[in-house]
Amino acid sequence: MLLGDSTPSELPPDVLDLVTEVVGCVSAVAKPFAEIDELERRRAESTRITEAIVAELANFGRQSEVGVRATAAGASRPEVRAHGEEAVQALVRMVTGWQKQHQARRDATRAQIDQRITMLRQSMHEALERFLLPRREGAPVQRFHRFFDGQRYLDTAVVEPLKGIRVMVSLADSEPEVPRRVRSLVGKGSKVQVSTRLSRIRKIPEPVTTSLDDLLVLDAERGPGRLRLLLAKKVGVLDTVRIEMGRSDDGLLHSRVQRAEDPPIDSPPADLPIFDALWKAMDSERERIMACPAQLVEIALDGRRVEDAAAVLSVAERLMDAHRSTISLLARHSPNPAELTIKVETDGKREEVWIRREELAQHLLGLPEALRRRLSVPELFPAGIEDLLEVKTSVHQVLNTQIVDDDAHSMPIELEPNELEPAPSQGAPRRELVEDLSLSDLVVDDDDSEASGCIELTRVNRR
């Protein structure tokens, strides 16, 4: 692959697709986060106002209670004095009812906001899942674990697609043989030493071997430079074989075997070829299972579990940080300042692939300024691009602030006559050109998609 100015590069040929996915993922995380931030501000403001109202009502009730009692005590007629305490109790019930109304309204608002925040957090999590899951196969596998629960395998893997971002995924193995037998992995004839015993005649230690062919793989864990296996003929039996293998940096393999409650032994060199074949077979199984359908279970950033919205945003920020240098490199070597360009050679033919910076930048323009500074890349925001794309974000903001009343189903729209329409003096007066239209019936037909105000799907182009 070549950069836009024909400079050789080690970047992958699909680097523009990768950049597009990164920007899209960051946008899909940042926009819900901005809404969550605003919702939390509204929730705190609602709580503050309600507490102030409740406190003022309580003060009002106390002052009114004192006044009513004083008025009743000073009344000349005994009937008024007798009804004074009844009036106080009625006043207390009325004030308490007002307080409960405001508190119920606050609780309803809080419940709606909490429900919306839960949906937004799920949306942020799904955006990361869409980006990270496809990259699990190419990432260094930190740990692969499979466990047979008596009916099926539970397969999980912990991988690090990007430095500092570690994810746990659950995998769905489609292999019909469950559980797997060793002979289906490495073939028949796998016999290894599992312990030693004293010979009856010579009373010297002699090896005790066992066949692995019919043993089932009940538990397996593949970590950096090591492999652990639990084998047995049946599920739930005590007669098990535990194998722990390790491979040094120079490729040398060593193994320890333990049968049931016997002491573990170091495997003799004659058994290492069998264990090497089992190692390779389990690695092949791991690669096959890693390509199966997966689901994101957990995300960790720098060793800390990602749980709240702020942590998810930090993961998106790490994604952008990891690709900033790539975007900067593409921008420096792109002949057209409005594009990110590369050149790909296939079968002796050179093809130019490009994407407009404007199409990438528009995904981030709708963010609050502080959030945009935190997530954007300078090369995507050349001078004047914000003015150029102002219309594309302002339309959504206006519509979002117009429709605020659930009871308002329509709004007056003044129809300006054009040159083909009769002037007010020739036809209907101007006031009759005002019609009450339902927003649900209003359709805007605009052939110019660039001015439509909609954020379009980012495209990678070829020429």
Question: Which pLDDT does position 373 carry in this prediction?
Answer: 86
In whole angstroms, how far apart are CA 41 and each of 27, 36, 37?
21, 8, 6
Question: Which pLDDT does position 249 carry in this prediction?
Answer: 86
Q: What is the C-alpha separation between 97 and 389, in angstroms, rounded?
A: 51
Question: Which pLDDT does position 382 carry in this prediction?
Answer: 61
Q: Which two tokens stand for residue 325?
A: 């240098």
**356 and 343 in contact (C-beta within 8 Å)?**
no
pLDDT digits (tens, 9 = 90+) for 200-226: 766 777 888 999 999 999 999 999 999
Q: What is the C-alpha separation between 357 and 367, in angstroms, rounded?
A: 17
Question: Which pLDDT does position 199 carry in this prediction?
Answer: 73
Question: Which pLDDT does position 255 carry in this prediction?
Answer: 95
CB atoms within 10 A of CB 289: 20
**437 and 413 in contact (C-beta within 8 Å)?**
yes
Which residues, in sequence order, are bridge partners of residue 246?
A: 226, 254
Question: Which pLDDT does position 196 carry in this prediction?
Answer: 82
Dihedral, 439, 442, 445, 449 alpha carbons, nearest 10: 10
Which residues of the chain, if any, have pLDDT below 70? Answer: 201-202, 382-457
Sequence-ordered list of residues with C-beta below 8 angstroms from that of 95, at least 6 positions apart, any chain: 57, 58, 60, 61, 64
- The strand ranges marked E within 117-199 are 141-148, 153-162, 165-171, 191-198
**DSSP element (H, E) containing 345:** strand 339-346
Task: Return the closest-CA partner of residue 132 out of 356, 318, 311, 378.
Answer: 318
Q: What is the C-alpha separation between 205 and 437, in angstroms, rounded?
A: 97
pTM for the complete prediction?
0.74
Q: Which two tokens stand for residue 426?
A: 């020739």
